Chains A and B, each alone.
Chain A
């Protein structure tokens, strides 16, 4: 299933967040969005998922242009894992099935069948508070997959993890996507993560987000992550992306990369497990 957006703009009242964005993801393609903090990446992703409507422009997901249709096609993995603390890991993973009216036993069986593959075997009954950060992210990802939607919308899925678990989770997600290709839109503020996981990386400017560059990843989701990210082609792509990012961040002095207003800055601080 494909995603196609043309000329998307969006404002929160006076505050413009997106400026004429064109975005396309072919069937089975992974597209990453990178950009400065607070530039409008989450907003764009929420529009793709049908959680918001654009102020201008058109968007289609699998042929559906209305919000309800997009919502039906997209599975959204939010920036925070948002596991529900009153449910076990298994019941969290099975949420979509329960929401669609499946019985408890049936939903648990179906979601539980995937626990082994996600390295979560034995933790079915654990409450989210008893899981490590990496495991929580995996349960959140499993919950997204179990929804069985054709398009994945991932909002900084690993932003809250430390560098080591993060690399590990990236390798793991790459494996999952190799095993089962999905159309995905991935938000990241980590260029390396974007270039490793995605087929294509879209670099956004600071708010309001415009597209400043699009790069093709040299070797998406390579089995050997460490070798892939040190490959000269990868390093060159990363430098190109970094230059584009800096250019986009400083292109428009009316919208500085780091907002001066302290409240806004706090809201969008370069977070690591913020909140």
Chain B
């Protein structure tokens, strides 16, 4: 019952909002209130229409952006995880590398992306690098905290059961760190699309942000809204899939 409600309620809320917007837009209330030409305030039906008629164009650009997000996420998560584990095993490495990761994290995407565009051009490389850089910090910090939260008594218990350092990591530390890792992954998944869009803004020949800028200049407002809807769907899917993965992996809570 609760599970059903958790799907039905948000869907109903979104449907209600779309309905309200449809009425407000098609009767011209919003345009009138803002003193605008009606075509600048497309109704949901018009947006749907624009998505349908431009589906090839939208899909091509969505795929470009989605690929940037996914490859960047993957790279950031893999590097972040590897670094967190390495830092757990080597104190020296942790002391040496951690300040650097904080420094990298403190440089805003808006600053770093244009520089990288100068170096690497308009292709996917810049976007992947920027997304990975943004993603890897929450992964490293959360995973490392998770690994460090291990119960020292459990480690002692494992040592008397002839566990090697690796066995302790595998059977105690890694499972202990999983919930914290997923907290980091949720943050990562939430920031990745934003960062990818920023990177496209800094220089790109295709992608949803590119398209949005163009449509903005050409007053293709309905298609612009279409891009926004697609981005929202991507966001929901990414967060939802992460939550699902967490539920499937962490079965003991």
Contact = CB atoms under 8 A, between A and B. Distances in A.
A49 B163 CA distance: 14
Given A84-B171, A98-B171, A129-B252, A147 B161 contact: yes
A98 B161 CA distance: 9
A95 interface: yes
A211 interface: no
B160 A84 contact: no
Contacts of B161: 75, 95-96, 99, 143, 147
Contacts of A99: 158, 161-164, 167, 171
A145 to B, nearest CB: 11
Contacts of B175: 84, 86
B55 interface: no
Interface string A168-204: 0000000000000000000000000000000000000
B8 to A, nearest CB: 30
B194 interface: no
B159 A82 contact: no
B153 A82 contact: yes
Interface in A114-144: 127, 129, 143
A46 interface: yes
A100 interface: yes
A71 B153 contact: no
Contacts of A51: 156, 159-160
A95 B157 CA distance: 10
A76 interface: yes
Contacts of B167: 98-99
B153 A78 contact: yes
A87 B251 CA distance: 10
Question: Which of A49, A75, A96, A99 gathers most chain B CB within 10 Å?
Answer: A99
A80 B156 contact: no
Nearest to A80: B153
Contact of B252 (A78, A85, A149): A85
B30 to A, nearest CB: 53
A46 B162 contact: no
A153 B157 CA distance: 11
Interface string B154-197: 10111111111001000110010000000000000000000000
B178 to A, nearest CB: 8
B253 to A, nearest CB: 8
Given A80-B153, A86-B251, A99-B158, 11 more contacts: A50-B160, A51-B156, A51-B159, A72-B162, A76-B157, A82-B151, A85-B253, A95-B171, A99-B164, A129-B252, A147-B160
- The 8 A-B residue pairs whose C-beta atoms are closest, nearest first, are A76-B160, A96-B161, A99-B163, A86-B175, A85-B252, A86-B252, A99-B167, A99-B162
23 contacts: A51-B156, A51-B160, A71-B159, A71-B160, A74-B160, A78-B156, A80-B153, A82-B151, A84-B172, A84-B175, A85-B252, A85-B253, A86-B175, A86-B251, A87-B171, A95-B163, A95-B171, A98-B167, A99-B158, A99-B162, A99-B167, A143-B161, A147-B162
